[in-house]
Amino acid sequence: MPEAMVETRATDATRSVSTQQVDVAVVGAGFAGLYILHRLRKAGFSAVVLEEAGDVGGTWYWNRYPGARCDIQTIDYSYTFDPELDKAWTWSEKYATQPEILRYLGFVADRYDLRRDIRFGTKVKQATWDDASERWLISTDNGANVSCRHYIMATGCLSAPKPPEIDGVKDFKGEVYFTGRWPHEGVNLKGKRVAVIGTGSSGIQSIPLIAADAAQLTVFQRTPNFALPAGNGPQPTDRKTLFEGDRTTYREQARWSMAGVPYPQQTAVSWQLSDAERRERFEKAWAAGDLVHILTQLWADQAVDVDGNTIVGDLIREKIRNVVKDPEIAAALTPHDHPFGAKRPCLDTNYYATYNRPNVTLVNLRQEPIKEITADGITTDRRSFDVDVIVFATGFDAMTGAILAVHPITGRGGKPLSSVWAGGPQTYLGLTVAGFPNLFMITGPGSPSVLSNMAVSIEQHADWVVDRLIALRDAGFTSMEATETAQAGWTRHMADCSMLTLHRLANTWYTGANVPGKAQGVMPYTGGVGPYRSICNEVVGRGMLGFKLKGPGGAEQCNDGEIVRLQPDVRLVLGMLAEMNLPPIETMGAQGARDFLNEFNKGRPAGRPVGEVGEGMLQGADGPLPYKLYRPATPGPHPIVVYFHGGGWVLGDQQSDDPFCRDMCRRTGMIFVSVGYRHAPDYRFPAAAEDGYAATRWIAEHAADLGGKPGPVLVAGWSAGGNIAAVTCQLARDRGGPEIAGQLLLSPVTDCSFDRPSYIENATGYFLTRGLMFWFWDLYCSPADRTDPRVSPLRGKLEGLPPAFIVTSEFDPLRDEGIAYAEELAKAGVPVEQLKAQGHFHSSFVMVDVVITGVPGRVKMAEALRRFAGLPTQQSDASRHAPPPEVNAAAS
Ligand code: NA7
């Protein structure tokens, strides 16, 4: 629909002569604003960019402090939308300086003639949605107000400097500067006594240069940060060659990568590498001087697991100790309070060595907090420092601040954004907010933004928004707005994603912790750039899922729903499986399926070390059976858990759930004995059930020989193994033992009925399909036997069974029979706890170190097993991390 038609509906206010009428108004002329303006123009929209600064540049316009540079390699920190532009500009250094980046942005503005639609020196005072005209009304402090159909915040993430929060700044007689608002003409620090407060990126970049200039520098540090040497200089040839070899592929790989820089996913896990191999990788990364490299390329668990991360942290701590001569200063500079990467790490040039200079003093504010700023300088609660200049490198009210601090934004029904976000940002995709039609944010909270190469994310966000505006216009709609359902779903997905990384474990500006009183929570999207891109595309592919579109004459379209209901890593796993385009497992034949599973298991991360792993034979119902035993590193004797693997009574063996057994052995501090029971179709019902029972009895009888604690054992099992564990408990009760202290049933088969809702809802698409379950049942058990409690324990007597912990997954055909078993056990007076795992699938918890979001579930399972065994719920940390002794030969 032509804009003119819509404009006839505008209110008087929007038609005032002093109001500039445009299709789209954008705030900010930095990386994002410039590109959006270019795209809007090409798409035929009228647009204006409102910019407070005197020229283009955004963050690079304001942050002119000494040493300011980007810390993503500049080859990657560039626009990619126009291959000609890519070729027309060559960066002079690996990490360009602020002036060079500013020149680049000026060059882009000139090349596409962007300045003519940018109103510089213009601050937006307020923005209000007008429902009647379906337009945003924007007032400014300079020139005409603006009425626009769509309003885009291209205000960056770090544009609102944080107030100093220290008493007495106004009393100071000397000069005061903020790194984020550095004077354009520069500052002469020669011969002066300078104080720098803050040791984030800005402090770490500027401190060495200020130290070289000033007579005396005193650095006031609240939290030490990790920094690694940038090794700046000419562009490294490895990346340059890669880029120049095939620019298109290079850029495309960046777009689908996790961080927006084309590095492969690391697959080796830290415990698979020797100390020497880990050190070699680390030294290489240290020498590379590249944050994305060191954050992603050492080992797969470094960013997702505290233990894997501690190894990197320790190696960096060693580097700091080696550079800083005074051990006390080195200790003060060494971070211990956050995992490496959870707080923004920095790139430096001579940062740590600067503290060896005689004119530099470090004040550790953790030991002596600042009391006040006086006329002459800074007073801590121990001493006073007289200074001529104070530099605040104290950071920003990040992400939400960059939007809320600009001006009051009022949405539908007069609702202020500040009140909607009072408890933390609520967005859909980090791009839109329910109740704020036609308002878009570029790199807003909820998008990958600051956890990615901003250049790549900005282009993706901007392309998505402008493409939507085009599609909206083409379809004759005038507004689009996120629904509450979609937004709530995104908020939940954000929370799920935040369990993927260690960012939640640090108090940082990523979480709002740097601003007193600010709501806390991980604000950027931690699920990765590529996955985020695919989600945004999926929203479109699924008919603008989660958006309400409106047009003239009451035209309306709303395809409501949540875009991601799976856990983020489950989504990736299922996506990868779908891409493999495998034939259904049930068409492979039993041996073919076993071969497939063996191959498949070879690709998974090796399980973690435990104290000892042994193998042996035990007595089954009809002959010997193999078993695998996992013993904790802590001194025994330990309680024993008899474990039954999954595989539909057809697949798997005593070592097919090896990573799970290792993980649970470590978490519980108990022996796990995984039983190689007989399989169908060679051995049909009741072979597996009877083997399960016989094995449990044998293990209980031989507990002491196995190094276990005599007395009751515990049983656990996954899937068909959960079925065997449940059946074993019933048989043990009915056949006079052994005594079982508790049962852990993980996605168990409990019944032969296939008509529960989960069998229908999750029939396909989640790896374990209904068809596969039919096949398993057919191979194992003839229809006439299926109601026997030895295969359908739900149909057995449930009274008098050991306490149970039952785990079910939302996207699993077996979900409802697991829940039914838990409910019936409870009715029969058995103590039962349930874990209904949201967003998980049948294999989530056994895919150890792949489905990272399964960790909290396994923690709960381990706690339950320990409770059942009469142990304190949590192991002491010392015993959990005890170094494993030599792995011995077979236990028996
Ligand atoms: P950052 O990274 O937020 O760093 C700010 C620093 O200032 C940090 O060390 C803070 O300590 C410190 N700070 C903040 N407030 C105070 C007060 N009141 N007293 C003492 N110290 C304080 O901002 P930057 O400008 O360095 O970098 C921002 C981003 O730009 C960076 O991460 C890159 O993405 C580029 P804290 O750690 O909060 O204890």
Distance CA 378, CA 332 (A): 19
In the chain, what is the straight-line distance between the N-terminal and C-terminal CA atoms, in Å? 80
Tokens of 237: 């040839």
Place of tokens 């500067």: 177
Q: Which two tokens stand for residue 802?
A: 């050991």
Q: Quick one: 465 exposed, middle or buried, by C-beta within 10 A (0-12, 13-18, 19+)?
A: buried
Cα of 394 from ligand 1 centre, angstroms: 4
* 9, pLDDT greater than 50: no
Is the distance from the beta carbon of residue 380 to the nearest atom of ligand 1 less than 6 Å?
A: no
Q: What pLDDT, on a 0 to 100 scale, did the predictor assign at position 12?
A: 41
Instruction: Please work out, in degrees rounded to the nearest 5, the angle formed at the alpha carbon of residue 784 by the alpha carbons of 782 and 790.
Output: 80
Residue pair 836/806 in contact by the 8 Å Cβ criterion: no
Q: Write out the H or E segment, with its range, that includes residue 440.
A: strand 439-441
Q: Is the peptide bond between 686 and the residue preceding it cis, with omega within 30 degrees of 0?
A: yes
The pLDDT value recorded for residue 606 is 87
Q: Are 500 and 305 in contact (CB under 8 A)?
A: no
Radius of gyration (Cα) for the chain, nearest Å?
31
Q: What is the mean pLDDT of residues 79-91?
A: 94
Backbone angles phi, psi at 447, to 5 degrees: -115, 165
CB 629 within 8 A of CB 615: yes
* Beta carbons of 91 and 74 less than 8 angstroms apart: yes
Q: How confident is the model at residue 882 (pLDDT cuts 50, 70, 90)?
A: very low
Residue 7 clears pLDDT 50, i.e. is over it: no
| pLDDT at residue 888 greater than cutoff 80 | no
User: For the chain, what percentages of helix, strand and coil (3-state, to nearest 5) are there?
Assistant: 40, 20, 45
Question: Closest Cα to atom 31, ligand 1: which residue?
Answer: 201
Report the 10 Å Cβ neighbour count for 722: 28
CA 678 to chain centre: 41
Cβ(776)–Cβ(650) under 8 Å? Answer: yes
The amino acid that residue 124 corresponds to is: V
pLDDT-derived band at 890 (thresholds 50, 70, 90) equals very low
Amino acid identity for residue 831 in this structure: P
CA distance 342 to 740: 43
In the chain, the amino acid numbered 445 is P
User: Three-state DSSP class for 745?
Assistant: strand
Higher pLDDT, 6 or 170: 170
**Among candidate residues 701, 704, 727, 700, the one with its CA nearest the CA of residue 714:** 700
**Where do runs of H (alpha helix) occur along 546-588?**
568-580
Question: For a pocket test of ligand 1, which of 62, 179, 205, 222 has the largest count of ligand atoms closer than 8 A to its C-beta?
Answer: 222
Which helix (H) or strand (E) covers residue 628, if one does?
strand 623-631
Structure tokens at 452: 């990615």
* Tokens 């500052």 sit on residue: 187
Distance CA 194, CA 393 (A): 13
pLDDT class of 875 with cuts at 50, 70, 90: confident
Residue 471 beta carbon below 6 angstroms from any ligand 1 atom:
no
Q: Specify burial of residue 684 (Cβ count, 10 A radius: 0-12, 13-18, 19+).
A: middle
Residue 373 alpha carbon to ligand 1 centre in Å: 18
What are the pLDDT digits (tens) for 306-350? 999 999 999 999 999 999 999 999 999 999 999 999 999 999 999
638 confidence band (pLDDT: 50, 70, 90): very high
- Hey, CA dihedral for 499, 503, 509, 512, is it positive or negative? positive
Residue type, 422: A
Residue 283 has a pLDDT of 98
Residue 892 is predicted with a pLDDT of: 24
Indicate the SS3 state at residue 650. coil
Tell me the per-residue pLDDT of 615-634, one tens digit each, with 9 for 90 and over: 999 999 999 999 999 999 99
The answer, yes or no, to whether residue 198 has pLDDT greater than 60, is yes
pLDDT value at residue 164: 87
To test the ligand 1 pocket, which listed residue (371, 372, 514, 518) has its Cβ within 8 A of the most ligand atoms? 514
Residues in Cβ contact with 631 at an 8 Å cutoff, skipping those fewer than 6 apart: 610, 611, 612, 613, 614, 638, 665, 671, 707, 891
| Residue 62, ligand 1, Cβ within 6 A | no
* 192 Cβ closer than 6 Å to some ligand 1 atom: no
Mean pLDDT over the full length of the chain:
94
DSSP state of 32: H
Task: Decide: helix, strand or coil at residue 644.
Answer: strand
H or E element that contains 719 = none
pLDDT in the model for residue 876: 62
| pLDDT score, position 874 | 80
Q: Tokens 């001579």 identify what position?
A: 350
Q: Which atom of ligand 1 is nearest to the CA of 164?
A: 18
Ligand 1 near 393 CB (within 6 A) = yes
Half-sphere exposure of 779 (CA within 13 A, CB side): 25
> pLDDT tens digit string along 812-865?
999 999 999 999 999 999 999 999 999 999 999 999 999 999 999 999 999 999
d(CA 637, CA 871): 13
| 734-738: long-range contacts, CB 8 A cutoff, minimum separation 24 | 734/797, 735/693, 737/697, 737/700, 738/696, 738/697, 738/700, 738/701, 738/712, 738/713
Rounded Cα–Cα distance for residues 224 and 221 (Å): 7
Q: For the segment 241-299, what is each residue's pLDDT rounded down to a tens digit?
A: 999 999 999 999 999 999 999 999 899 999 999 999 999 999 999 999 999 999 999 99
Q: Is 682 helix (H, G, I), strand (E, B) or coil?
A: coil
Ligand 1: centre distance to CA 389 (Å) = 18
Strand partners of residue 47: 24
Check if the beta carbon of residue 26 is closer than 8 Å to that of residue 50.
Answer: yes
User: What Å distances lie between residue 369 and 365, 366, 640, CA to CA?
Assistant: 4, 6, 52
The residue to mutate among 394, 452, 508, 523, having the most atoms of ligand 1 within 8 angstroms of its beta carbon, is 394
Which of 201, 219, 379, 508 to mutate to test ligand 1, by most ligand atoms within 8 A of the CB atom?
201
Q: For ligand 1, is residue 156 a contact (CB within 6 Å)?
A: no
Q: Measure CA 342 to chain center.
A: 10
What ranges in 93-161 are assigned the alpha helix state H? Answer: 98-111
Distances (CA, A) of 323 to 47, 229, 331, 864: 53, 11, 11, 47
Residues 6+ apart with CB under 8 A from 314: none
Tens digit of pLDDT for each residue in 424-475? 999 999 999 999 999 999 999 999 999 999 999 999 999 999 999 999 999 9
The whole-number average pLDDT for the span 773-794 is 98
Judge whether 641 and 668 are in contact, CB under 8 Å.
Answer: yes
Is-contact 802 726, C-beta < 8 A? no
**243 φ, ψ to 5°?**
-65, -50
| Alpha carbons within 13 A on the beta-carbon side of 483 | 18
Answer whether 233's CB lies under 8 Å from 93's CB: yes
What pLDDT is stored for residue 18 in this prediction?
Answer: 85
Separation of alpha carbons 411 and 5, rounded Å: 23
346 lines ligand 1 (CB under 6 A): no
Residues 6+ apart with CB under 8 A from 715: 641, 642, 643, 644, 696, 725, 728, 729, 740, 742, 743, 744
The answer, yes or no, to whether any atom of ligand 1 lies below 6 A from the CB of 197, is: yes
Nearest CA to ligand 1 atom 35: 201
Burial 340-352 (b: 16+ CB within 10 A, else e): bbbbbbbbbbbbb
CA distance 477 to 454: 31
CA angle 610, 612, 617 (to 5 degrees): 125
Residue 887 binned pLDDT confidence (cut-offs 50, 70, 90): very low
Q: CA 536 to CA 659: how far, in whole Å?
A: 34
Find the mean pLDDT for residues 549-556: 94
Q: What percent of the chain has pLDDT over 70?
A: 96
Q: Are strands 384-386 and 377-380 parallel, antiparallel or unpaired?
A: antiparallel
Tokens of 863: 């706690």
Distances (CA, A) of 627 to 619, 640, 676, 718, 810: 10, 13, 6, 16, 31
What whole-number percentage of the chain has pLDDT above 90? Answer: 93
